[in-house]
Structure 1
Amino acid sequence: MRAPALKLTGHLAAQFTAKDGVTQLRTHHQSYPLKLAKPFRLGQDEQLAVYMMDASPGVLAGDRYELSWSFGEQTSVLVTNQSYTKVHPARTSPEAPLYPSAQCVSLVLETGAYVEYMPEPLMLYKDAVLLGETEVTMAAGSHLFWSEIVCPGRHQRGELFQYDTYRNAMDVTYDGELIYSARQLVRPGLRAPQRIGSWDRYTHQGTLLLFSDKADGQLSTLLREWLAEQYGDTSGVYWGVSHTYKHGVIVSVLGMRVLDVEPVLTSAWHWLRQELFGKAPLKLAK
């Protein structure tokens, strides 16, 4: 038996604008347990960094988080959070029905906006159910980096693909045209992820997406060649680079630990931001 998500638990909305080349957080509102930490500048760059914070132990049974982001013309923003997003069991007791949790993210980028949306990994506890939706609307001339790492559970507790359901949907519209649509449904109890044709022997999945009019098939080839030089002989990960239908590059990584997957994604991110946008590599303090 399944029950609908109980309530809107946390809501966070933020609007960024730019004046004379300086980005600022124009307005924001939030409800417990979500909040934004005080924004700060990244080194000599005028890019603004903001940290999402969650005062609760994590996403609990029946919780629904809604995150809405609006990036005005010529803004430059990096969004991240303090720690892993932890999705707790969807049952309040062994006999109780499943109460799915949900996280809905909306990003709107105006012309010239440059956004890096780089949250910490997602951790799915035993019996967790997470329904994720991401909707991105981009004006022509805007640029978006987006990253995700999905963990199969808490290894120290013996959890490995013991969550109930992970469903994720993402749509990206660029200049009024749908350029990317992805759907993922993982239900380990019905179909084991660790098999040929799926994740094989690997346990952790990582993804880096770049959407920009600078992203084309040639860029995918160059990035693939560069990553092959860096990680071609690395047996701990399995990775690939592909070009989307239009204006997009995807880096996909499978590994056995976050510590295996994250460096590949970070290297690709740093290479792309340097080659395309002339930005130096970042090391974020957490």
Structure 2
Amino acid sequence: MTGEWKGTISVIGEKNYLIDSFRRPPLNVVNFTGEDGESIVYLASSSPGLFNGDEQEISCRLMEGAHLFLTDVSATELHPSLTQQECRQNQIFQLGKNSKFEYMPEPLIPFKGSNYAGKMSIYMTEGAQAIVGEMITAGRVGRDEIFEYQCLQSRFEMYWDEQLQVWDSIRLTPESNLKENGVLGDFTHMSTLWILSEQINTDHLQHIQNEILKDDELSDVYGGASFLENKGIVIRLLGHSVQTLQKTLKACWNYFRLELFHLQPLDVLK
């Protein structure tokens, strides 16, 4: 089964609109305009999740000056099936000049026996900015189904003016004992936040390192932040629950939304 969504966001007046949208079931979208004029798009699926062998294609183009906040309505559940073929998710985002892109999807939950490969490609140009998150769980932790999937792969690519600037790949195979020290240790959840902007400076990095990641209320999270080689920051986090990681991600997102976009935090209803 292949689900697909393609969209185009354009700014008209002081508001952003989804001016072009194509979908192939089971993917569907709900969209509206936010209080600050951004286009808000929720991805929804009529399927209970991705099964081994399924494919999902998501792509969106932001025209010059456009602003999109993209998320999904619930976690992406990765199911096993009779085939051993991996399920795939391919995401491509093209950001026009001075556009803004925020993508905070719900977590990936790999069920026992599932096999997943995901890839995200982001194409940036002059003045474009993006805040992009990802979260991976160990499985259905409430059922003590921890690290029982076959394999989980996640690749991230970022281009500035068609030149590759970031290539990042995660490949988790539980049979290699992810609980070893030097791998995940006693942590079960991981997340990454990419901050892509020409406006990034040392003050931003120091605030993340010395204020947010050292907050006593976030003591259950282990994380670090570093500059990308060009125009950005990456933040890595490990934790024991979705809730603790989401709290840290939200603190980082709120900070950069204000610093880079000059906008107050966005309350996402789900």
Same fold (TM over 0.5): yes
* Separation of aligned partners in 2, 1:144 and 1:263: 19
Q: Which runs of 5+ in 2 are unaligned?
A: none
Partner of 1:211: 196
8 A contact 2:194–2:235 mirrored in 1: yes
* Match 1:60 to one of 51, 55, 79: 51
Aligned counterpart, 1:179: 165
Identify unmatched segments of 5+ residues in structure 1. Answer: 1-6
Instruction: Establish whether residue 145 from structure 1 lines up as the match of residue 131 from structure 2.
Output: yes
Deviation at 1:228, TM superposition (A): 4.1
1:106-255 alignment, distance < 5 Å: 106-189=92-175, 191-231=176-216, 234-255=218-239
Q: Under a length normalisation based on structure 1, what TM-score does the superposition of the two structures give?
A: 0.91
Q: Is the 8 A contact 2:103 2:133 kept in 1?
A: yes
Partner of 2:26: 33
2:8 corresponding residue in structure 1: 15
Q: 1:259 aligns with which of 235, 239, 243?
A: 243
Cα offset, 1:170, TM superposition: 1.1
8 Å CA contact 2:218–2:244 kept in 1: the answer is no
Where do 4+ consecutive residues of structure 1 move more than 6 Å?
none
Aligned equivalent of 1:268? 252
TM-score by length of 2: 0.96
Shift of 1:48: 1.3
Contact persistence 2:58–2:91 (CA under 8 A): yes
Aligned residues: 270
Moved more, 73-82 or 170-179: 170-179
**SS of match in other structure, 1:25:** strand
**In structure 2, distance between residues paired with 1:155 and 1:223:** 29
Is the deviation greater in 103-112 or in 222-231? 222-231
Letter in 2 for 1:63: D
Query: How far 1:155 sits from its partner (Å)?
Result: 1.6
Report SS of the residue matched to 1:260. Answer: helix
Distance 1:142 1:169 in 2: 21
Secondary structure at 2:64's aligned position in 1?
Answer: coil
**In the alignment, what sits opposite 1:24?**
17
Cα distance in 1 between the residues matched to 2:204 and 2:162:
23
Cα drift, residue 229 of structure 1: 4.8
Distance 1:234 1:280, change over 3 A: closer
Q: Show the counterpart of 1:4.
A: none
Across the aligned residues of Structure 1 and Structure 2, the Cα RMSD in angstroms comes to: 1.4
Q: Distance in 2 between matches of 1:229 and 1:136?
A: 30
Deviation by residue 1:223-280 (Cα, 9 ceiling, x = unmatched):
212214524x744110111111111111111011001111001101101111222110
Q: Work out whether residues 251 and 265 of structure 1, in 8 Å CA contact, stay in contact via their aligned partners in 2.
A: no
Q: For the residues of structure 1 that align with 2:215 and 2:265, how far apart are their CA atoms?
A: 16
The DSSP-based 3-state class of the residue aligned with 1:221 is: helix
- What is the CA–CA distance in structure 2 between the aligned matches of 1:132 and 1:54, rounded to whole Å? 17
1:283 equivalent to 2:244? Answer: no
Q: Which amino acid in the other structure matches residue 168 of structure 1?
A: S
CA–CA distance in structure 2, aligned partners of residues 183 and 229 of structure 1: 27
